[in-house]
Chain A
């Protein structure tokens, strides 16, 4: 199917496109990012440096990029999908060989002005390429084993590379993001059921492999799982982060301790308080109302994306929007589950809120794609 077959009656051109941007999403992104700025200000002890100021600058740059990407016709992006995917795979391979080792994991490429995390980029390009693939693939072939095997390979290759970095969190996100696109594209239920069964078996195998020479996960990954299963086991060791995060979060109560009043975060009880664990500070200072408020904002973004996708007759645009929305959803859901003690600590930042350059930029570019899909919707 091509874009033209949608029989578009009206497509905005030039600056008129600005009117057709999905403004509610832009407003929501502003709101969420602003919450992030406030939190970064707070965890720095009431200072714009070292985190809030660079974050605001990157956000500004990201917004420009988002709108820029949004103005570019969606068919251009569909044509670029294969190239983008190939590029990100190359980057992943590059980190494998030239990447900088940071935090015990090989994840970054130092570009001089910023450190690019190719795995972040891959989350988007994978979704993009899969959307393009299903747009190109005739629908009756969707569930054909051969045509299922191909996208599975497209997903597993970068996933394996990311897992090797090692970055369990991102690998999971890639897997789930890709699977979501396949699911929405209409791949037969049976495949998912099979994979689910196989997944359960794999988890079993992973646990069985522990301590043998064909061990499937690193020791620290096993320890993280142990700690997740019972944080009280080792409250000052590996379980420390989870325990402290839960204390901070729980002690926030209904209305929180108030802006800048979070004792747990200002006293350094919290680990990674400006990145992965920033949600605990927010929950401590603004309480249940603040935490659920943020969750609500995130869900509104998801719902607007869903609405945009469901009203979009262009298959690529719809799949891309849903895929990006899912990636975004997985981002914050995994992070929140992690800090509330419902998921193991896997090192996933809170999207748009956590301090971090490449994650922010990549996300905003992704939302640029969502905007492009929305603006160039066949009407």
Chain B
């Protein structure tokens, strides 16, 4: 009986075991046969990771091939929180190997805990090779930490081109919310994109496209091997029409002023120099600007961050007189030789408008009015022609229109007319507004860029469009020299003759800044624009001299010019904020920069009037020294 019981119960147990084994077999079948594809897919995902290969950013050169923005190799330490285990311990060990600022470590740690645990976070940048070697040697003790080679942007000429080239910085959440860009590169933490200037506006060209590599990883995320790699498209190289040496010179020449200057090449429309002083070193932003530097930049009353040449707008003052005169001549409301009487003031509907010369110019024609910058002449002709024709002429010459340039905050300026005042201010145009506008005051606003374009168009008689990008990846961009202007060539010629006289005639307002070298003479027009109203009492008392005023209430000094007179090659505009008179503050700067452009380097002293030579020699030395210091300051770290 007992043995039968054993047998029966043993059979039951055996049957139960067989049943369970059958269940296991069935389970294996369902997983390995029925759902095999599904699991195979999961396994592939487990195994293969796709990593982006950031492309090398396109370089930016000047017209002579001098690099303005380049990619510099640097070493950095990257940490993945997930792989590190004990983050504090690993960071502690890292600081024993590499000398790192505790603040940097703290910031990196914060960043790491803010992001997903598997996202690599850059702990420190720009390490020395010895540090990298030390990290690699100690790799086993530094789990989750890797030393990488990366490219970072460097601007060898620093502040000289900061406003034009701009700078790159890590893509921010704000950037991502603002731009509709599906580029996966932007998802890379701290991916560098252009923030301002050409870097920003030409981002699409410069960035290139991401490559990918497929890597096999283990459960820890450690890379076992690379399966394949598809190289990305590096960014396109961009050559600017800018002349770095001229740009550096212009920056140095304006050092100490708050000023802007633009030089246009009259053969191509190239912007040879776009200088704004003071400037800033864009490398500071790439490295991460310190709070102190940032405060300094923002609290400087000369506003180093503002690209005055492009985004600054100023009442153009007397430099606007060519516009008023040409509008009147074109309209036929005055003949070129017809005179207007200047008693030193003009009464317009009960308001007295003064000429800068209290004694008056007497009977004065177009040529003399421009040469001597008589205001009354323009008060008179502007009333005859009307503001709308003046505004039309201004726009034709490039004022009050935004030039399409790949730069940040290109100013539109303002060429006011009746419609504008009605639309924007809701007031009707008054005759006094016209009189004010006739001498470039009142509502009229122009940037140095626009004034340079105006001068370029006047001097060539053609529709000159400023060109910043000379070529992209070696492909030459269309020239900026367009069709002849729809203005009677006769009036243009007379205008040029008058501008010639402004500089080269003994009674011209800018005569002291003449160029004496053969075939290099320049023509131009001075401008002094008020930033304050001169009241009747003040006028009765005698107008306060500029030098006695606080800086920010002094007049702006302007000068537009071109050279050589006979065969114009360059047009220039210079605006010195609160610099005083155009002839004293702006014209000498314009002359120096023009000469530098005409001689493609430092000009011979013989180009200057003999009285100035000793002073100019000194000045040239000073500027050369300054250029050298600036360039040294932004040398690769």
- Is B39 within 8 A of A254, CB to CB? no
> Which residue on chain A has the smallest CB distance to residue B18?
A299
B-facing mask of A217-251, CB < 8 A → 1, else 0?
Answer: 00000000000000000000000000010111111
Q: How far is the CA of A249 from the CA of B38 in the complex (A)?
A: 11
B9 lies within 8 A of chain A by Cβ: yes
Residues of chain A with a CB closer than 8 A to B14's CB: 302-303, 306
Residues of chain A with a CB closer than 8 A to B11's CB: 306, 310
- Is B32 within 8 A of A252, CB to CB? yes
Q: How far is the CA of A303 from the CA of B14 in the complex (A)?
A: 7
- Nearest chain A CB to B98 CB, angstrom units: 29
- Is A254 within 8 A of B219, CB to CB? no
> Which residue on chain B has the smallest CB distance to residue A138?
B2
Q: How far is the CA of A319 from the CA of B27 in the complex (A)?
A: 31
Q: How far is the CA of A309 from the CA of B14 in the complex (A)?
A: 11
Knowing A269-B219, A299-B18, A322-B10, say if A253 contacts B33 (CB, 8 Å).
Answer: yes
Residues of chain A with a CB closer than 8 A to B25's CB: 292, 295
Q: How far is the CA of A340 from the CA of B28 in the complex (A)?
A: 7
- Is B39 within 8 A of A249, CB to CB? yes
- Is B46 within 8 A of A342, CB to CB? no
> Which residue on chain A has the smallest CB distance to residue B21?
A299
A186 lies within 8 A of chain B by Cβ: yes
Q: How far is the CA of A167 from the CA of B5 in the complex (A)?
A: 34
Name A337's contact: one of B24, B31, B216, B220 (CB within 8 Å). Answer: B24
Residues of chain A with a CB closer than 8 A to B32's CB: 249-250, 252-254, 283, 287-288, 291
B20 lies within 8 A of chain A by Cβ: yes
Residues of chain B with a CB closer than 8 A to A247's CB: 39, 42-43, 46
Q: Which of A21-29, A30-38, A177-185, A346-354 contacts B (4 or more CB under 8 A)?
A: A177-185
- Is B218 within 8 A of A269, CB to CB? yes
- Is A251 within 8 A of B3, CB to CB? no
A3 lies within 8 A of chain B by Cβ: no
B488 lies within 8 A of chain A by Cβ: no
- Is A267 within 8 A of B47, CB to CB? yes
Residues of chain A with a CB closer than 8 A to B46's CB: 244, 247, 263-264, 267, 269
- Is A252 within 8 A of B36, CB to CB? yes
- Is A186 within 8 A of B9, CB to CB? yes
Knowing A250-B40, A267-B216, A283-B28, say if A139 contacts B20 (CB, 8 Å).
Answer: no
- Nearest chain A CB to B224 CB, angstrom units: 6
Residues of chain A with a CB closer than 8 A to B36's CB: 250-254
> Which residue on chain B has the smallest CB distance to residue A323?
B13
A-facing mask of B240-279, CB < 8 A → 1, else 0?
Answer: 0000000000000000000000000000000000000000
- Is A267 within 8 A of B6, CB to CB? no
Q: Main SS of chain A's interface residues?
A: helix
Residues of chain B with a CB closer than 8 A to A75's CB: none
Residues of chain B with a CB closer than 8 A to A139's CB: 1-2, 5
- Nearest chain A CB to B443 CB, angstrom units: 66
- Interface size for A (C-beta < 8 A) is 48
- Is B218 within 8 A of A310, CB to CB? no
> Which residue on chain A has the smallest CB distance to residue B48?
A263
- Is A267 within 8 A of B33, CB to CB? no
Knowing A247-B39, A333-B24, say if A267 contacts B13 (CB, 8 Å).
Answer: no
- Is A246 within 8 A of B31, CB to CB? yes
Q: How far is the CA of A333 from the CA of B23 in the complex (A)?
A: 10
A318 lies within 8 A of chain B by Cβ: yes
- Is A183 within 8 A of B219, CB to CB? no
- Is B10 within 8 A of A288, CB to CB? no
Knowing A287-B32, A288-B33, A302-B17, say if A313 contacts B3 (CB, 8 Å).
Answer: yes
A109 lies within 8 A of chain B by Cβ: no
B-facing mask of A150-185, CB < 8 A → 1, else 0?
Answer: 000000000000000000000000000000100111
Residues of chain A with a CB closer than 8 A to B3's CB: 313, 315, 318
- Is A336 within 8 A of B24, CB to CB? yes
A-facing mask of B25-62, CB < 8 A → 1, else 0?
Answer: 10111011101101110110011000000000000000
Residues of chain A with a CB closer than 8 A to B47's CB: 263-264, 267, 269
Q: How far is the CA of A249 from the CA of B29 in the complex (A)?
A: 11
A326 lies within 8 A of chain B by Cβ: yes
- Nearest chain A CB to B245 CB, angstrom units: 57
- Nearest chain A CB to B214 CB, angstrom units: 14
- Nearest chain B CB to A243 CB, angstrom units: 9
Chain A stretch 108-163: residues in CB contact (< 8 A) with chain B: 139
B7 lies within 8 A of chain A by Cβ: yes
Q: How far is the CA of A260 from the CA of B595 in the complex (A)?
A: 77
Residues of chain B with a CB closer than 8 A to A302's CB: 14, 17, 21
Count CB-based A-B contacts (< 8 Å). 142
Residues of chain B with a CB closer than 8 A to A319's CB: 6
Knowing A184-B13, A295-B21, say if A315 contacts B219 (CB, 8 Å).
Answer: no
B217 lies within 8 A of chain A by Cβ: yes
Q: Which of A248, A306, A319: most chain B Cβ within 10 A?
A: A306
A87 lies within 8 A of chain B by Cβ: no
Residues of chain B with a CB closer than 8 A to A263's CB: 43, 46-47, 216
> Which residue on chain A has the smallest CB distance to residue B43?
A251
B-facing mask of A313-341, CB < 8 A → 1, else 0?
Answer: 10100110010001001000100110010
A268 lies within 8 A of chain B by Cβ: yes
- Is B6 within 8 A of A268, CB to CB? no
- Is B33 within 8 A of A254, CB to CB? yes
Q: How far is the CA of A292 from the CA of B23 in the complex (A)?
A: 11
Knowing A250-B36, A315-B3, say if A183 contacts B18 (CB, 8 Å).
Answer: no
Q: How far is the CA of A295 from the CA of B39 in the complex (A)?
A: 21
Chain A stretch 262-276: residues in CB contact (< 8 A) with chain B: 263-264, 267-270
- Is A180 within 8 A of B6, CB to CB? no
Q: How far is the CA of A180 from the CA of B222 in the complex (A)?
A: 47
Chain B stretch 216-242: residues in CB contact (< 8 A) with chain A: 216-220, 222, 224
Q: How far is the CA of A251 from the CA of B5 in the complex (A)?
A: 45
Residues of chain B with a CB closer than 8 A to A303's CB: 14
Knowing A283-B28, A322-B13, say if A251 contacts B33 (CB, 8 Å).
Answer: no
Knowing A246-B39, A253-B36, A267-B216, say if A326 contacts B13 (CB, 8 Å).
Answer: yes
- Nearest chain A CB to B536 CB, angstrom units: 81
Knowing A139-B2, A250-B36, A315-B6, say if A180 contacts B27 (CB, 8 Å).
Answer: no
- Is A250 within 8 A of B7, CB to CB? no
- Nearest chain A CB to B324 CB, angstrom units: 75
- Nearest chain A CB to B49 CB, angstrom units: 11
> Which residue on chain A has the smallest CB distance to residue B41?
A251
- Is A291 within 8 A of B43, CB to CB? no
Residues of chain B with a CB closer than 8 A to A283's CB: 28, 32
Q: How far is the CA of A140 from the CA of B36 in the complex (A)?
A: 54
A-facing mask of B148-159, CB < 8 A → 1, else 0?
Answer: 000000000000
Knowing A247-B43, A263-B47, A267-B224, say if A342 contacts B33 (CB, 8 Å).
Answer: no
Q: How far is the CA of A149 from the CA of B309 in the complex (A)?
A: 101
Knowing A253-B40, A263-B47, A267-B47, say if A184 contacts B10 (CB, 8 Å).
Answer: yes
Name B35's contact: one of A250, A295, A298, A342 (CB within 8 Å). Answer: A250
> Assuming A139-B2, A263-B47, A302-B14, what are 17 further A-B pairs, CB within 8 angstroms?
A180-B13, A186-B5, A186-B9, A244-B46, A247-B42, A247-B43, A248-B43, A249-B39, A250-B36, A252-B32, A253-B40, A254-B36, A263-B216, A264-B43, A269-B46, A299-B21, A337-B24
List residues of B whose CB falls within 8 A of some A CB.
Answer: 1-3, 5-7, 9-14, 17-18, 20-21, 23-25, 27-29, 31-33, 35-36, 38-40, 42-43, 46-47, 216-220, 222, 224
Closest 9 pairs (CB-CB, A-B) = A250-B39, A251-B43, A288-B32, A268-B218, A253-B36, A267-B218, A269-B219, A186-B5, A251-B39
List residues of A whose CB falls within 8 A of some B CB.
Answer: 1, 139, 180, 183-186, 244, 246-254, 263-264, 267-270, 283, 287-288, 291-292, 295, 298-299, 302-303, 306, 309-310, 313, 315, 318-319, 322, 326, 329, 333, 336-337, 340, 342
Q: List 16 A-B contacts (CB under 8 A).
A: A1-B2, A185-B6, A247-B42, A249-B28, A291-B28, A309-B6, A310-B6, A310-B11, A319-B6, A326-B13, A329-B17, A336-B24, A337-B24, A337-B27, A340-B31, A342-B23
